Amino acid sequence: MKKPLTSIVRRTDWPTSVSRPVVTPLQPSVVYSSPDPDALDAQYADASGYTYAREGHPNAQVLAEKIDMLEGVDPASGGGIVTGSGMSAIGAVFLGLLKAGDHVLGGDQLYGRSLRLMAQDLPRLGIETSLADPTDAAAMAAAIRPNTRMILVEVVSNPTIRVADMEGIVALARDRGILLMVDNTFTTPVAYKPLLSGADIVIHSVTKLLAGHSDATLGYVATQDADLRRKINDANVTWGLTPSPFDCWLAERGLHSFHLRHRAAQDNARRLADALAGMAGVKQVLYPTRSDHPDHNRAVALLGGQGGNMLSFALHGGRDAANRLTRAAPEIAFAPTLGDIGTTLSHPPSSSHRGLTPEGRAALGITEGFFRVSVGVEDADLLIAEFGAAVAAASD
């Protein structure tokens, strides 16, 4: 018998088995040992193995490959890249592909932090930025400069649920040789596949609908171009934007039910939008496939009638009515996120759009009684009843 050890700091082999686990194993190892220096050299040369988790790890790769299948990413490009958050996906693209002197044109209703990145952080790095209305491709074209290197748009805007003229913007980017990055977080590949529609780069906040349970903060970026992919990946690794294995593992589990959650949440959103439109205290409802939506025809044509899980509505009343509404709906989390399995409610004037002046908000139609709803998979009748009671309390 071997002499008992006083310290068990010994590397042991993983038990061998002819069977395989059904669930993806969680691999938290920060580092991987190689047999010898030649093997390590070869590993770096042909990227044939893992070395250090910041440079890549199996849980990120498994997750990326699954989102690739939804977005239609050609594996020959090297495949999608998972990042530590949606913002780091956008950051990796900017850091990997832009240089001082370039200009980036953004849609004027991007997610708040993306707007901040455009307004403050890129200019600090010597990168020019400007914004234009993505529902109007001619307005985007008019904003192109000789040094415009990239366009960033979201297909469905936050929180006013406007639908971008993607066909016009794709054609514009193609004609002018400008890279087009699409943030597909709201829309999801169920309704729109940017890479298959002519965009160069797609990003996601995986934190939202794809992972779906508000327990993992992650991003994703993909392109069909191997050279762009290499540059974005280098930025991801160098700037340390890579994700935690545990978050990737959780997100992969969430992703397995994405199509079911999406279908159920979208059905609920359609029903809730119609119910809200019939409530006396509600002034306006914004849901893309409703016939009164300003971009209804485009939503039907572009999104194939997939209105998604997001809707917005405005009360007749102002801030007091808004306060009464959230207090009267304790079951509906008043929380500034979206894409959770449960319904969440956000109030842009006090959260994502609080940095704008009241006039700036008014120009977007965001009044003090304006709410955005990320609809979940609850029983639809229950949701409608809870919103009905909350809107009635707000109107008192």
Ligand X SMILES: Cc1ncc(COP(=O)(O)O)c(C=O)c1O
Question: Which of 77, 148, 158, 160 contacts ligand X by CB under 6 A?
Answer: 158
Which of these ranges, 60-68, 182-190, 307-315, 316-324, lies near ligand X under the rule CB under 6 A?
182-190
Q: Is 219 in the site for ligand X (CB under 6 A)?
A: yes
Question: Which of 50, 94, 111, 192 contacts ligand X by CB under 6 A?
Answer: 111
- Strand 333-334, strand 344-346: pairing: parallel
Eight-class DSSP state of 38: H
* Distance of alpha carbon 213 from alpha carbon 265, whole angstroms: 13
Q: Is 312 in the site for ligand X (CB under 6 A)?
A: no
The CB-of-219 to ligand X minimum distance in angstroms stands at 6
Q: Which residues in the 136-155 window bind ligand X by CB under 6 A?
A: 154
H-helix or E-strand containing 250? Answer: helix 245-255
Which of these ranges, 64-72, 81-89, 98-106, 115-123, lies near ligand X under the rule CB under 6 A?
81-89
* Distance of alpha carbon 248 from alpha carbon 171, whole angstroms: 35
Which of these ranges, 15-23, 80-88, 265-273, 296-304, lies near ligand X under the rule CB under 6 A?
80-88
| Nearest CA-CA partner of 79 in 259, 225, 204 | 225
Q: Which residue's CB is nearer to ligand X, number 324 or number 347? A: 347
| Nearest CA-CA partner of 282 in 293, 274, 290 | 274
Q: Which residue's CB is nearer to ligand X, number 302 or number 391? A: 302
Site string for ligand X, 316-345 (x = CB under 6 A): ------------------------------
| Nearest CA-CA partner of 325 in 395, 232, 227, 222 | 395
Q: Is 368 in the site for ligand X (CB under 6 A)?
A: no
Contact 176, 103 (CB under 8 A): no
In terms of phi and psi (left: phi > 0; alpha: psi -120 to 50; beta: otherwise), the region of 72 is left
Which of these ranges, 79-87, 194-202, 281-289, 370-378, lies near ligand X under the rule CB under 6 A?
79-87
Contact 312, 389 (CB under 8 A): no
Helix/strand/coil for 231? helix
Q: Is 164 in the site for ligand X (CB under 6 A)?
A: no
Q: Is 85 in the site for ligand X (CB under 6 A)?
A: yes
Question: Which of 68, 102, 165, 183 contacts ligand X by CB under 6 A?
Answer: 183
Q: Which residue's CB is nearer to ligand X, number 97 or number 394? A: 97
Q: Is 184 in the site for ligand X (CB under 6 A)?
A: no
CB atoms within 10 A of CB 340: 24
Q: Which residue's CB is nearer to ligand X, number 303 or number 394? A: 303
Burial of 277 (0-12, 13-18, 19+ CB in 10 A): middle
The CB-of-356 to ligand X minimum distance in angstroms stands at 17
CA atoms within 13 A on the CB side of 251: 33
* Distance of alpha carbon 44 from alpha carbon 54, whole angstroms: 14
| Nearest CA-CA partner of 390 in 329, 321, 333 | 329
Contact 369, 283 (CB under 8 A): yes
Number of residues that bind ligand X (CB under 6 A): 13
Q: Is 217 in the site for ligand X (CB under 6 A)?
A: yes
Q: Which residue's CB is nearer to ligand X, number 144 or number 187? A: 187
Structural tokens at position 40: 């390590």
Site string for ligand X, 192-211 (x = CB under 6 A): -------------x-x----
* Distance of alpha carbon 268 from alpha carbon 375, whole angstroms: 7
The CB-of-206 to ligand X minimum distance in angstroms stands at 7
The CB-of-114 to ligand X minimum distance in angstroms stands at 6
Q: Which residue's CB is nearer to ligand X, number 181 or number 282? A: 181
The residue with its CB nearest to ligand X is 86
Q: Which residue's CB is nearer to ligand X, number 205 or number 309? A: 205
Bridge partner list, 31 = 52
Using CB under 6 A, list all residues that contact ligand X.
Answer: 85-87, 111, 154, 158, 183, 185-186, 205, 207, 217, 219
